[in-house]
């Protein structure tokens, strides 16, 4: 099967970015890169390796789950159906967290999933003193452990399986980072077939999508040291309500400062909060 035939198959399944996916499939299956593909478009690739992947994509199983890994912040992370697939928008949170964390600071990555946020911070900020990675899902936490080992940062990690609203240890951190579930329950049914194959626990944020976020900017603030910082990812259409909620917290004296940060597409995406 030729490259263009793979692209055409993916197009027929309604797959977006079919050309990019075809390149990823060929790289994964045969080790060829984009340049190889461009200069040898007539090459015939073994059907025995390509067809099983195409059959799974026809069923809209995410490509990331098929190949079992994905890239985030320039690093390779293992992924599975038990945790969210790392996405470029979340890199905005990590980049700002790396920049905002004080030297030698301690960090908690809450709703960690694959661990891509906290582990990336450890990779790029070797001065971090400790990292707590917490998730309610045992399977997701096992994936985070696997990724920490693969990225050689596991010695600084503590892993906690539990509900962040009741199971966090009685300690404080210099920074809390979180990509919590933030999709309103009623919107879950409208998600793409691929996203629906990701864990509902990591997607469903309650009636308005803000159940966990309200905890984080409420009781969750008590887990920060003085002048500690919290960075939270939220939905592209939740910027206005986040601004309202955080302005209220600031007026009440619960936080000293906050900022709404946009993603690469210009959408409000991350809240940076500094406590008094």
pLDDT tens, residue by residue, 93-151:
999 999 999 999 999 999 999 999 999 999 999 999 999 999 999 999 999 999 999 99
What is the number of alpha carbons within 13 Å of residue 124 lying toward its C-beta?
18
Kindly state the average pLDDT of the residues 167-186. Answer: 97
Judge whether residue 276 has pLDDT over 90: no
Q: Delimit the domains of the chain by residue range.
A: 3-59, 80-275
**Tokens standing for residue 162:** 């539990």
**Tokens standing for residue 266:** 């210009």
List, for residues 52-68, the tens digit of each pLDDT value.
999 999 999 999 999 99
pLDDT at residue 169 in the model: 95
Q: How far does Cα 80 stand from its chain's mean position?
A: 13
Q: Is 88 helix (H, G, I), strand (E, B) or coil?
A: helix
Average pLDDT, the chain: 97
Q: DSSP class of residue 138? A: H
Nearest to 229 by CA among 94, 73, 107: 107
Q: Is residue 80 a contact partner of residue 65, using CB atoms and an 8 Å limit?
A: yes
Q: Is residue 145 a contact partner of residue 83, using CB atoms and an 8 Å limit?
A: no
Angle between helices 3-12 and 18-30 (to 10 degrees): 130
Q: How does residue 182 score in pLDDT terms, banded at 50, 70 and 90? A: very high
Percent of the chain with pLDDT over 70: 100
Q: How does residue 163 score in pLDDT terms, banded at 50, 70 and 90? A: very high
Give the ranges where the chain is alpha helix by DSSP (H): 3-12, 18-30, 34-39, 47-58, 63-67, 88-100, 116-124, 138-150, 211-216, 239-251
pLDDT at residue 173 in the model: 98
User: 80-275: which CATH number, 3.40.350.10, 3.90.1200.10, 3.40.50.150, 3.40.1180.10?
Assistant: 3.40.50.150
Q: In whole angstroms, what is the distance from residue 61 CA to residue 66 CA?
A: 7
pLDDT at residue 212 in the model: 98
Cα separations (Å) of 59 from 26, 99, 172, 194, 199? Answer: 19, 41, 45, 9, 17
Judge whether residue 274 has pLDDT over 90: yes
Q: In whole angstroms, what is the distance from residue 91 CA to residue 99 CA?
A: 12
Kindly state the average pLDDT of the residues 177-193. Answer: 96
β pairing state of 224-233 and 268-275: antiparallel
């Amino acid at each position: 099967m030729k490259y263009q035939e793979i692209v055409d198959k993916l197009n027929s399944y309604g797959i977006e970015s079919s050309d990019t996916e075809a390149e990823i499939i060929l790289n994964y299956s045969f080790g060829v890169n984009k340049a190889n593909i461009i200069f040898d478009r007539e090459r015939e690739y073994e059907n025995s390796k390509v067809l099983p992947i195409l059959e799974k994509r026809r069923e809209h199983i995410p490509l990331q789950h098929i190949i079992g890994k994905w890239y985030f912040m320039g690093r390779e992370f293992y992924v599975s159906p038990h945790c969210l697939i790392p996405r470029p928008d979340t890199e905005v949170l990590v980049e700002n967290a790396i920049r905002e964390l004080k030297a030698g600071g301690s960090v908690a990555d809450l709703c960690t999933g694959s661990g891509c946020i906290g582990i990336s911070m450890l990779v790029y900020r070797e001065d971090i003193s400790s990292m707590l990675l917490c998730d309610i899902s045992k399977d997701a936490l096992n994936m985070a452990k696997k990724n920490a080992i693969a990225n050689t940062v596991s010695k600084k990690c503590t892993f906690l399986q539990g509900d962040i609203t009741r199971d966090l240890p009685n300690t404080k951190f210099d920074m809390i980072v979180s990509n919590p579930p933030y999709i309103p329950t009623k919107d879950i049914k409208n998600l793409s077939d691929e996203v629906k194959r990701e864990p509902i626990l990591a997607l469903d944020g309650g009636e308005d999508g803000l159940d966990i976020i309200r905890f984080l900017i409420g009781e969750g603030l008590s887990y920060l040291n003085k002048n500690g910082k919290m960075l939270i990812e939220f939905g592209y259409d939740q910027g206005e309500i986040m601004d309202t909620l955080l302005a209220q917290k600031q007026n009440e004296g619960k936080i000293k400062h906050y900022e709404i940060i946009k993603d690469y597409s210009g959408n409000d995406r991350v809240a940076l909060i500094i406590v008094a």
